[in-house]
Amino acid sequence: MYELRAVEKKFPGVHALKSVDFKIARGEIVGLVGENGAGKSTLMKVIYGAYQPDGGQILIDGKAVRFANPRQAMEKGIGMVFQEQSLIPNLTVMENIFLGYQEQFTRLGVIDWKAMAAAARKQLAKVKLDIDPRMVTSALSFAQRQLVELAKVLTLEERVEGDLVILLDEPTSVLNKEEVALLFKLVRELTSRASFIFVSHRMDEVMDLSDRIYVMKDGQVMDVLARGQAEAPEIQRKMVGRDIDREYYREQKQVPYDADKVLLELSGVGISGRIEDISLKLHAGEVLCLVGTEGSGREAILRTIFGMVQPAEGEVRIDGAVQPRLTPGSAVARGVGYVPRERKIEGIVSGMNVYENMTLSQLGRYSSWGVLAVGREKALARDWIAKLKIKAHSEYADCGNLSGGNQQKVVLAKWRSGGSRIVLLDHPTRGLDIGAKEDVYDMIREMSADGVGVVLVADTLEEAIGLSHTIVVLKDGAIQHVFDCRPGAKPSLFDLLHHMI
Amino acid sequence: MGGILSRENIIRWAALLVLLALIALFTALNPAFLSQRNLARIAIAAAPAMMVALGVTFVIVMGSIDLSMEGAVSLAAVLFCLLFVKLGGALLPWGWLAVPVIVLFGAFYGMLTGLVHVRLKIPSFMASLAMGFVGTGAAVMITGGEIVRIGDSTFRMLLTWRILGYPLMVYVAIACIFVALFIQKHTVLGRNFYAIGGGEELAHASGVNVRAVRIAGFALAGAFYAIGAIFQVAKLGQAEAATGANFMFVSITSVVVGGVALWGGVGGVWNAVVGVLIVNVIANGMVVIGLPNFLQDGVLGVLVILAVVLATDRRAVAFVK
């Protein structure tokens, strides 16, 4: 039904798509996997009309078509559900659903809100979302917004003759387990109305949902696998071209922590509505993992330790000393480092180069009387670029142009070079490809071998189990259970899930 | 990407090329433009505006905007004259004291603007605009609308003593440019301006005290405004509540024309210097080739729009508000 034949796309210096063939049949769900930079997003942009291919053909029902922009693609039934949610938060749900297509409800420029609300309700029913379409979008949960976005794309059904192809770009990244299950159920039901292209970093989800999986690497389709034809390790091997061994999480490098040396202690910490009565200890060399669903209080704990929020109750002790009024500034001064989830917003300053980013948290150390020692800064950056094998042409490289994995290395180098002894990692591997993930795991192991205490919020439960010495399971802001995770005696997924939900 | 025509290179060198092209154009139209006397005239006209532009550059690099310069310059100029007269009316033995005092006052005034902006959480354009009016008002109140004069010939040497044909003021201005460059490149404060302009959240998460840096940025700007005010007094030999008039448009025009991005993090002192020279060359050149006076503001306005159009990566910012 929808087909790409030998599609090519080149950018200056990059051959992003090399003769890609792609096919999707009516009612089919096709998974698309590949490392960062494998060409997935370029392929998607070609499909929904944001990029025009340099060579090859796009065929719909055997007829060649060409899209100058996404709107033209939409008119042929191709819709995109964006990863970064593209709803406008201060508009109502129905305005968002019909944004750009209000004419059907207008007469002489005046909008018939009742008709729009009725039509919006009809769309929301398709995704089984029972909300008032007059609600302001910002009042919805992430999961609800995702569904509204899907409903918005499904309006194509009424507008377009012929079949729909809907792209889902990392739709599950902000959803919890149950929400994911609901979404998948819905997508399967909707295959009676549309075909889906599903892109995700989470291999298990892709394998669960897709009828066929396209594996991409270096701008090429490496393989197309039908459901049940391959196991996750095999697909991953095709993605990276090498084996992900059993030592993926570097378990052999996990050494016992120093139980006598408490770096950080929370006792009875509470913030109304977020967390309550949180008590935990972080020892030198320990990787302590906070596990829980979105909103279970993991983030609030990290932010409390870093002084970004003040606890209403309880105490935070660093090296045994009570910290009554912790700010990010004083936390850094006491050896706390924070690697936030939003790398682009809180991780690196794009526009600043590598050495400027690395010393940002420790300018005091690289200056006297407010005057910078730029030579020493550069030496430090060169040192860490070599040590962590950061792919940057030099210490002058703009961090905004580095890949996600290399940006993350710069952020970690920033804290490690500053001598941080307590490092808070919030989803440090989110959005990284497998190779870059392994580098991050290596760094975590090295840090803990050096006696650094790490508080980790992991991207997946497997990662949490693999990496940690201790797992603290949270639910609704309270600690449910604490697991000891010595190698060989690690808890199973089920053990954790049991306490999470 | 990369290459000679990369955005970075265009931003860095385009303004300078425009400056050279303008000089060539005006010289072709009237060779007298390139005479040493005329160049000195441009330099004198540019010196006070240069100081104000340097000050506001730091604020703009932080991603804020400062519109208080007119009031700040007027108030600093008036206070400088009054203090100078009070200290004996001559540079020696005690009149010189007015210089550091007024520069400190400028910093204090800027700090107040910063405090209003940061502590009361008022957007910087509004906080500084209001503080600017406060300054103009205070200057009127202090002088009662009168003009305050300084006749001291030693102080006026800033204008009258010429080395190689250029007055002393020009050399002091160049020294100030180097101070500003040093602050930008070699101090923690300068680095932090760029960090905040490039990613405020991130600077915060790296333990940078964002509020303090913002306030310091406004204070630094205020100090440069005060130096600009002192130059203006040296140039005119007097001060009044209207001494600061016109500095806002000229300085911000210059900074933007020079290639400092209004959303912060991009550009710097070098761009401001080139921008100020462009604006002054145009103003002077239009006089030299005999264009009517009233056209100047219009031309400058068009220039700002052109500069922003050229410097903005419109593929990156689809819509602006």
B211 touches chain A (CB under 8 A): no
Please say if the pLDDT value at position A494 is more than 90: no
Please say if the pLDDT value at position A179 is more than 80: yes
Tell me the average pLDDT across A176-186. 85
Chain A: residue nearest B207 by CA?
A329
DSSP code of residue A30:
E
- Closest Cβ–Cβ partner in A13, A308, A350 for B198: A350
- At residue B79, the pLDDT reads 96
Tell me how far apart the alpha carbons of residues A338 and A328 are, in angstroms, rounded to a whole number.
9
Tell me how far apart the alpha carbons of residues A365 and A363 are, in angstroms, rounded to a whole number.
5
Tell me how far apart the alpha carbons of residues B230 and B237 are, in angstroms, rounded to a whole number.
10
- At residue B316, the pLDDT reads 47
- At residue B114, the pLDDT reads 96
In single-letter form, the type of residue at position A270 comes to: G
Burial of B202-234, coded b for 16+ CB within 10 Å and e otherwise, reads: bbbbbbbbbeebbbbbbbbbbbbbbbbbbbbbb
- At residue B124, the pLDDT reads 93
Q: Which residues of A fall within a CB distance of 8 Å from B203? A: 349, 360
Would you give the end-to-end CA distance of chain B in angstroms? 28
**CB–CB contact A333 B207 (8 Å):** yes
B278 touches chain A (CB under 8 A): no
Confidence of residue A444 (pLDDT cuts 50, 70, 90): confident
**CB–CB contact A367 B188 (8 Å):** yes
Cβ-Cβ pairs closer than 8 A, A with B, add up to 83
Chain B: residue nearest A346 by CA?
B202
Distance from the Cα of residue A350 to its chain's centroid: 19
Could you read off the pLDDT of B171-194 as tens digits, one per residue? Answer: 999 999 999 999 998 999 999 999
Confidence of residue A243 (pLDDT cuts 50, 70, 90): low
Q: Which residues of B fall within a CB distance of 8 Å from A367? A: 187-188
Chain A: residue nearest B186 by CA?
A372
Confidence of residue A13 (pLDDT cuts 50, 70, 90): low
Please say if the pLDDT value at position A347 is more than 80: no
The overall average pLDDT reported for chain A is: 84
B162 touches chain A (CB under 8 A): no
Tokens 């989110």 correspond to A430
- At residue B274, the pLDDT reads 93
A60: nearest Cα among A71, A45, A50, A74? A74
Crossing angle, helix B36-61 and helix B269-288, to 10 degrees?
140
In this prediction, the residues of chain B whose per-residue pLDDT falls under 70 are: 1-12, 311-321
Q: Which residues of B fall within a CB distance of 8 Å from A328? A: 204-207
- At residue B107, the pLDDT reads 97
Burial of B107 (0-12, 13-18, 19+ CB in 10 A): buried
B12 touches chain A (CB under 8 A): no
**CB–CB contact B205 A340 (8 Å):** yes
**CB–CB contact B191 A331 (8 Å):** no
Q: Which residues of A fall within a CB distance of 8 Å from B209? A: 327, 329
Nearest Cα of chain B lies from the Cα of A69 at a distance, in angstroms, of 15
- Closest Cβ–Cβ partner in A13, A327, A363 for B188: A363
- Domains of chain A in sequence order: 2-240 (3.40.50.300), 251-347+423-500 (3.40.50.300)
**CB–CB contact B188 A372 (8 Å):** yes
Q: Of the ranges A458-462, A464-468, B7-11, which one carries the lowest mean pLDDT score? A: B7-11
Nearest Cα of chain A lies from the Cα of B37 at a distance, in angstroms, of 39
- At residue B321, the pLDDT reads 44
Q: In chain B, where are the structural domains located?
A: 47-252+262-267
**CB–CB contact A346 B209 (8 Å):** no
Task: List, as one string, the DSSP characters of B15-77.
Answer: HHHHHHHHHHHHHHH-GGGGSHHHHHHHHHHHHHHHHHHHHHHHHHHTT-----HHHHHHHHH
DSSP code of residue A138:
G
- Determine if residue A250 is left, alpha or beta; phi over 0 gives left, psi from -120 to 50 gives alpha, anything else beta: left
Could you read off the pLDDT of A159-170 as tens digits, one per residue? Answer: 887 888 999 988
Q: Which residues of B fall within a CB distance of 8 Å from A347? A: 202
Residues of A with CB under 8 A from a CB of B: 12-13, 306, 308, 327-329, 331-333, 338, 340, 342, 345-352, 356, 360-361, 363-364, 367, 370-372, 374, 401, 414
Tell me the average pLDDT across A278-306. 87
Tokens 């050399």 correspond to B171
Nearest Cα of chain A lies from the Cα of B101 at a distance, in angstroms, of 22
Please say if the pLDDT value at position A156 is more than 80: yes
**CB–CB contact A346 B205 (8 Å):** yes
Q: Which residues of A fall within a CB distance of 8 Å from B204? A: 308, 328, 346
- At residue A37, the pLDDT reads 62
**CB–CB contact A361 B201 (8 Å):** no
- Closest Cβ–Cβ partner in A346, A363, A371 for B201: A346
Tell me how far apart the alpha carbons of residues A434 and A241 are, in angstroms, rounded to a whole number.
11
- Closest Cβ–Cβ partner in B188, B201, B204 for A370: B188
**CB–CB contact A364 B194 (8 Å):** no
Could you read off the pLDDT of B93-128 as tens digits, one per residue? Answer: 888 999 999 999 999 999 999 999 999 999 999 999
**CB–CB contact A360 B191 (8 Å):** yes
Tell me the average pLDDT across A416-422. 86
Residue A72 CB partners (closer than 8 Å, separation 6+) = A49
Give percent above pLDDT 70 in chain A.
94
**CB–CB contact B202 A367 (8 Å):** no
- At residue A309, the pLDDT reads 85
Chain B: residue nearest A331 by CA?
B207
- Closest Cβ–Cβ partner in A331, A332, A349 for B202: A349
Please say if the pLDDT value at position A245 is more than 60: no
Q: What angle do CA A126, A132, A133 make, to 5 degrees?
A: 70
Q: Which residues of A fall within a CB distance of 8 Å from B319? A: none
Q: Please, are residues B307 and B291 in contact by the beta-carbon 8 Å criterion?
A: no
- At residue B204, the pLDDT reads 82
Q: Which residues of B fall within a CB distance of 8 Å from A329? A: 207-209
- At residue B10, the pLDDT reads 66
Interface test with A, best of B206, B211, B266 (most A CBs within 10 A): B206
**CB–CB contact B206 A333 (8 Å):** no
Tell me the average pLDDT across A299-304. 88
Please say if the pLDDT value at position A239 is more than 60: yes
Interface test with B, best of A86, A327, A342, A349 (most B CBs within 10 A): A349
pLDDT, greater one: A252 or A117: A117
Q: Quick one: tokens of A118?
A: 């009725």
**CB–CB contact A371 B266 (8 Å):** no
Interface test with B, best of A51, A346, A415 (most B CBs within 10 A): A346
Q: Which residues of B fall within a CB distance of 8 Å from A363? A: 188, 191-192, 208
Nearest Cα of chain A lies from the Cα of B47 at a distance, in angstroms, of 26
Nearest Cα of chain B lies from the Cα of A163 at a distance, in angstroms, of 31
Other Cβ atoms less than 10 A from the Cβ of B135: the count is 26
What residues 281-320 of chain B have any CB closer than 8 A to a CB of chain A?
none
Q: How far is CA B112 from CA A153, A202, A454, B78, B255, in A?
A: 51, 52, 42, 19, 23
Q: Which residues of B fall within a CB distance of 8 Å from A69? A: none
Task: Work out whether the CA dihedral B30, B36, B41, B43 comes out positive or negative.
Answer: positive
- At residue A256, the pLDDT reads 81
Q: Of the ranges A239-243, A319-323, A423-427, B261-265, which one carries the lowest mean pLDDT score? A: A239-243
Tell me the average pLDDT across A426-435. 77
B15: nearest Cα among B207, B190, B201, B255? B255
Tokens 């205490």 correspond to A453
B194: nearest Cα among B34, B63, B33? B63
Task: Work out whether the CA dihedral B234, B236, B240, B242 comes out positive or negative.
Answer: negative
Could you read off the pLDDT of A188-224 as tens digits, one per residue? Answer: 988 888 899 998 877 788 888 999 999 988 788 888 9
Q: Please, are residues B131 and B112 in contact by the beta-carbon 8 Å criterion?
A: yes
